[in-house]
Structure 1
Amino acid sequence: TEHLQQTGIPSGSQDKASVPDSGPEMDEPQVAVAPVVTSKLSAKAPEFYPSGYNQNFNQNFADSSYEDRYDGYLTLAEYVQDFLNHLTEQPACFETEIEQFAETLNDWVTADEALQELVELIYQQATSVPNFSYIGARLCNYLSHHLTISPQTGNFRQLLLQRCQTEYENRDEATKGDETTRKQFHAFVLFLAELYLNLEIKGTKGQVTRADILQEGLRELLNALFSNPVDSNLICAVKLLKLTGSVLEDAWKEKGRNDMQEMIQRIENVVLDANCSRDVKHMLLKLVELRSSNWGRVHGTSPHTEATPENDPNYFMNEPTFYTSDGVPFTAADPDYQEKYQELLEREDLFPDYEENGTDLSGPGE
């Protein structure tokens, strides 16, 4: 990131020699002579392709206009940016194309600066393009496990978290900033929320956990948003909690902490005291209601037992209704028809696991 900020240009860009203006004291125009740069590169050398790069790996991605634009040659920045734009337009392609993308990057990203540039490109896409934060977080998770380069400055995940740290440290100023500043900050907040949900940390024993540092970061971001309760900050906080509230509360409870209740108390104080709009107050109250219903989740309070007429008052309501030849309905609750009912029920269950497309959903031996 520091490298990008200092240079201000992508690594794939080319500098252009500037031509100084002739001053008023000059009698005649002066011709600027561009500096001569001696290159050891051959003009007849074949175009560079990383060994894992397949020009035809996806016909939609590498269409004719795409090839015409670059004439078969790409810089790292161009290749990555076009793939990000492609995912933005066709997110369903993630599963089929991410492996090839990562293989190409492993051949291409071999220096610290290139890895930093890759992180910055993905970060900018995830925080500036609407609806890319989720797919961007999934992309970051995949690359964090499949990119092989790990320089002294940090691997992909470490550089990504460092980039997020830069934005995180400006949270108090950002929540008090102008509309544009707040909008950019809110995009970062929601991207960090998606990273918390999607970035998997693998332990030494193979266990998969979430990044605790992101959990703590989200708590402080919520505090910053509630400390400056203008409408846009509060709306961002609502989105953040709707997205991660259940996961955050579970994680805090495992540590014996009551942070979520503190957040709910802050929300209630905002509803009572803040000068936010009526609509935003309604959103906050609906969020409190959602949390009171365990974030909309339904958990069984007792171990699963098979329903019977004795332990389930709705047992017969869960069974289908059949009809006699005279059109008289009967169910398992009708003692005169119990034997016939069971026969029909077994016949109905002959093919219970087949969908309309003929796919067998049952496991082997079932």
Structure 2
Amino acid sequence: MNENFDRAPGAGRTRNFPAEHGVVGAAGDGDRTTSLFDRREPLRQPRTCPPFAENNTGAAVVDRDFKRENKPHQSAQANSTSASSACDDVDSLVKSSKLSANAPEFVPSGFIPYEDPSCGDDTVNYYVEPTLADMVTDFLGHLSSSPGSFDSDIGSITDTLNYWVNTEELLEELVELIFTQSTAIPNFSYTGARLCNYLSHHLTISPPSGNFRQRLLKRCRIEYEERDVAVRGDQETQKKFHSFVLFLGELYLNLEVKGSKGRPERAHVLLDGLNELMKSLFSSPTDGNLICAVKLLKLTGSVLDDAWKEKGQSHMENLIKIIKNVVLDATCSRDVGQMLLKLVELRSSDWGRVRAAAAASDATPDNDPNYFMNEPTFYTEDGKPFTAADPEYAEKYQEILDRQDYFHDIYGENGDDLYDFEDEMEPEMEEDFENFCLESERKRQH
């Protein structure tokens, strides 16, 4: 083994460049020629930390030119200084950092968490249990948008309310919510009245201070007492009062109470109230008040008229007189006046009702208004309707029936059965027809 083998780390890794021509050793060393670069570069310091760009500018950039070999000690010293400064910077950064590996969550700098203003600082549970007002509002909104689902949904709605409403305060709140929504939501008075009637019979809570129906009538009484002020109020006040009047009319038609004989009947306690409400509306004959009165009478006129007649009261006749006086005074617009006149005509025709029709054997066009109801209507070539009331109807109608019988015999009942000519076919025709059918069958098989 070569005795000159250098066992030091990094030995043999020096860069040996070819010697320049004409360069020899010093005088007296003729036996040995040395290259100008025949010396080893000192070992590079280990990089324990990554250098930063701002700290090693000019020192970490390796110059691939031969100039670097001229200053090896200076380059090594620069590298060492750069590594030391980089380690110092990292150590100072770690000591000043507030980050922790044990933190429950990572929040980027500049992140602003959202805070719900409705929640307090010490709120832990973000789920808020719905209140009775929220639940009733959802129920009424559903029934308003889908009134046809009333019969299928009212049972589950009542079960939920029986679970929630267990105190007098909640019962009072429920009555107020239903009354407010029934008089505020457009076209909800009918569904609201049906809901009130159902709850009055199926709501289990019944405190001594009053059940659901009694509290509802008390709430209506409060609004009823303000009738004379409401009909002379501003437009918004009148509109709210009109909604209450129509709701009370629907409530009279739908609310059922037990009568003296145990049979369900209407709440007759509302009869006098409806009469006084209409008097108040006519006392201030503005267009809005008069239109509300017309709507109420069209809705409940026949029922009120019958109830007052049974009691021997002439309230309806008095109201008709008031209407005629309003029309004669001409304090309302022309359109509203026409509405009032049509209402008077409607009452004169017994509210458009048709009493028991005459027997079929005794019915005539004069004594039975439904005489021609089930008869078909035809049209002439000019497009004019031709009904049973026309004198020539019977004769022409019989011609139409005869024509239908004729086509029925030819085409059959469904119009697609051909007339059977088999009885009129001669023997030769029958034979030819059979041959034709056989030939057609053979062609279809081939």
TM-score in same-fold range (> 0.5): yes
**1:94-133 matched pairs, under 5 angstroms:** 94-133=150-189
Q: Report if the CA contact (8 A) 1:141-1:199 is conserved.
A: yes
**1:253-264 matched pairs, under 5 angstroms:** 253-264=309-320
- Offset of residue 330 of structure 1: 7.2
Whole-angstrom CA distance in 2 between matches of 1:146 and 1:317: 43
Q: Does 1:273 align with 2:329?
A: yes
Whole-angstrom CA distance in 2 between matches of 1:121 and 1:234: 28
Match of 1:152 in 2: 208
Match of 2:422 in 1: none
Q: Does 1:305 align with 2:347?
A: no
Cα deviations by residue, 1:178-222 (Å, 9 ceiling, x for unpaired) = 111101000000000000111011235431111112111100000
Q: Does 1:163 align with 2:209?
A: no
**1:203-282 matched pairs, under 5 angstroms:** 203=259, 205-282=261-338
Whole-angstrom CA distance in 1 between matches of 2:345 and 2:376: 35
Q: Report if the CA contact (8 A) 1:229-1:274 is conserved.
A: no
- Residue 218 of structure 1 aligns with an amino acid whose one-letter code is L
- Structure 1's unaligned 5+ residue stretches are 1-15, 19-33, 37-42, 45-69, 322-327, 341-347, 349-366
Query: How many positions carry a matched residue from both structures?
Result: 265
Q: RMSD in angstroms over aligned alpha carbons?
A: 3.3
- Structure 2's unaligned 5+ residue stretches are 1-117, 378-394, 406-412, 414-446
Match of 1:182 in 2: 238
- Residue 155 of structure 1 aligns with an amino acid whose one-letter code is N
- Offset of residue 317 of structure 1: 9.8
Aligned pair partner of 1:284 in 340, 344, 347:
340
Whole-angstrom CA distance in 1 between matches of 2:344 and 2:322: 11
- Residue 360 of structure 2 aligns with an amino acid whose one-letter code is E
2:166 aligned counterpart, secondary structure? coil
**1:323-362 matched pairs, under 5 angstroms:** none
Whole-angstrom CA distance in 2 between matches of 1:76 and 1:140: 17
Whole-angstrom CA distance in 1 between matches of 2:373 and 2:142: 50
Cα deviations by residue, 1:330-354 (Å, 9 ceiling, x for unpaired) = 75xx9xx9xx9xxxxxxx9xxxxxx
- Residue 307 of structure 1 aligns with an amino acid whose one-letter code is S
Whole-angstrom CA distance in 1 between matches of 2:234 and 2:347: 31
- Residue 201 of structure 1 aligns with an amino acid whose one-letter code is V
Match of 1:21 in 2: none
Distance 1:108 1:316, change over 3 A: closer
2:321 aligned counterpart, secondary structure? helix
Whole-angstrom CA distance in 2 between matches of 1:317 and 1:175: 44
Whole-angstrom CA distance in 2 between matches of 1:222 and 1:206: 31
Distance 1:320 1:181, change over 3 A: closer
- Offset of residue 83 of structure 1: 0.6
Whole-angstrom CA distance in 2 between matches of 1:312 and 1:289: 25
Match of 1:295 in 2: 351
Match of 2:146 in 1: 90
Distance 1:320 1:110, change over 3 A: closer
Whole-angstrom CA distance in 2 between matches of 1:287 and 1:317: 25
- Offset of residue 78 of structure 1: 1.0
- Offset of residue 316 of structure 1: 10
- Residue 139 of structure 1 aligns with an amino acid whose one-letter code is L
TM-score by length of 1: 0.66
- Residue 280 of structure 2 aligns with an amino acid whose one-letter code is A
Distance 1:320 1:262, change over 3 A: closer
Distance 1:305 1:74, change over 3 A: same
Overall identity of the aligned pairs, in %: 60
- Residue 334 of structure 2 aligns with an amino acid whose one-letter code is R
Report which of the two structures shows the higher radius of gyration computed on alpha carbons: 2
- Offset of residue 92 of structure 1: 1.1
1:105 aligned counterpart, secondary structure? helix
Match of 2:113 in 1: none
Distance 1:92 1:319, change over 3 A: closer
Match of 1:194 in 2: 250
- Residue 306 of structure 1 aligns with an amino acid whose one-letter code is A
TM-score by length of 2: 0.54
Distance 1:206 1:316, change over 3 A: closer
Whole-angstrom CA distance in 1 between matches of 2:372 and 2:174: 60
- Offset of residue 313 of structure 1: 6.5
